[in-house]
Amino acid sequence: MKVKARLFDKLDENKVKCHVCANECTVFPDKVGICGTRKNIDGEFYSLIYGSMISSGSLDPIEKKPLYNYWPGATAYSIASIGCSFKCQNCQNWSISQAIPTDDGKDGFYDLKGYEGREISLIEMTPEQLVKRVIKSGAKTLAYTYNEPLIWHEWILDTNRLLKKEDIKTILVTNGYSTPEASKELIEAGIDAANIDIKSMSDDFYKKICGVKSVQPVLNTAKMFKENGIHVEITNLVIPELNDSEGDIEELSRWVVKNLGQNTPTHFSAYHPDFKAPSKMNTPHNVLDRAYNIAKGAGLHYVYVGNLLHKKGSNTYCPNCNHLIIGRRGYSFTKINITNEKKCPNCSYDFTNDIIGIINRENKHNFSFF
C-alpha cells in the first residue's frame, strides 16, 4: 500500500531526493527511484510497498538466512516484498527483486525485455496483523529477507516496534547499501541481527555486476551496525572469474578481521548461473575450500561454506582448541557439544559473546507458509 516516505528532501521543480539507500536518487515528479518502489507524486514522496508482501510469510531455519552464530537452530518467520536498490546480473530472486509495484501496492509488474505484461500479485497486511501471525507461528525471530529489505524502511520501523513488545528478534538479510541516516533509524528501532552481503571489495564489480557506484556504503553499514550492538554476519557469493581469486578472498577476510572482528561469522556461498548469468560456471568445490582456508588463515574464527556440501564449512569450531562445537549437515544439527554455560567442554573457551541467544538443541524446523 502507499504511505508517505521517510528520509527525503524536497527540491525545486517538485523534485525530491531520497536518503533511504545509498543511491540517494533525485526523483522527478511521477517517477520512481532505482528501487522502483518509492515514487514522487506531486512533489511528495511515497513508499508503494508498505505492508505489500509476496506471501503472508513462511517459516525457515535461521541458518538459511544464513545466521549460524545467532540463536542457532531457531525458526525465522520470513517475509519479503518486491524491488531492490541493486540490479545484480546474477540475482537468484530476480522475479521479486526486479518487479515494480503498481501505485496502490497491490500488484507488481516488469519492465524487463521479454517479461512485459507479466504480473505478480501481492498480499497486503497491517503491522498488527503481521505480529499476530508471527505469534501464532511460534517463531521467536522474524527475518526481512529475499528481496532487499532496506527499501522497506517505513514498514520495518513500524513492525519492528511491535515485534519488540513481544520479544521477537528481528533480522535483516541485506545488501547493506544504506545511508547513515537510515542506518541510525534502524539501530534506534532495535534491529537485532543482520546478514550483510559483501559481494566484492571492488568498486568495479559493484558497477558492472550490481549497477551501483561503490562497495563503500556497504562497508560503512556493516561497521555501523556492529559498533552499535547489532549481531552481524557476512556473506560473500563466490562467482567464478569475477570475485574468486585468492586476492579477492584475502582482501575481504582481512577487512572483516580489522573492521568487524575475528569473531564475525563469514559465509562463502556457491554461485550457480541465474538471471543474466554473468558467469556460466558453478563455483567449484576447490574454490570454496580455498576461500575457507584463506579466511581461516586471515584470522577469522567462524568461517562457513554455503550452497554446497563441505566437510568443515557447516560446522562451528572452538577458536581456541578447534574442538567441534556444533556440527551441521544442511540446516540440521548433527552434533551439539557445548556446555549450558556456553563454554567449550574441551578448553572452557567462553562463547557468550560469539554465539548469541539460546541454542535450540532439538533443532526441529517446520517449513510452512502462513
Question: Band of the pLDDT at 116, cuts 50, 70, 90?
Answer: confident
CA gyration radius, the chain: 20
- pLDDT tens sequence across 349-362: 999 999 999 999 98
Q: Which one, of 83, 133, 88, lies nearest residue 105 by Cα?
A: 83
Cβ partners under 8 Å of residue 244, min gap 6: 238, 283, 287, 291
pLDDT surpasses 50 at 44: yes
Q: Residue 145 in contact with residue 65, Cβ under 8 Å?
A: yes
CA-to-CA separations, 357 to 194, 199, 351, 353, in angstroms, rounded: 14, 27, 11, 10
Parse the chain into domains and list their residue ranges.
Answer: 3-47, 52-259
- pLDDT tens sequence across 169-228: 999 999 999 999 999 999 999 999 999 999 999 999 999 999 999 999 999 999 999 999
- Say what the pTM is: 0.96
Q: What is the mean pLDDT of the chain?
A: 96
- pLDDT tens sequence across 291-328: 999 999 999 999 999 999 999 999 999 999 999 999 99
pLDDT surpasses 90 at 370: no
Specify the DSSP class assigned to residue 233.
Answer: E
Tell me phi and psi for residue 86, to 5 degrees.
-115, 165
Burial of 150 (0-12, 13-18, 19+ CB in 10 A): buried
Share of residues in the chain with pLDDT > 90 (%) = 95
pLDDT surpasses 80 at 363: no
Q: Which one, of 113, 168, 114, lies nearest residue 144 by Cα?
A: 168
Between strands 75-79 and 58-61, the pairing is antiparallel
pLDDT surpasses 50 at 368: no
Cβ partners under 8 Å of residue 23, min gap 6: 33, 34, 35, 85, 177, 212
CATH, range 52-259: 3.20.20.70
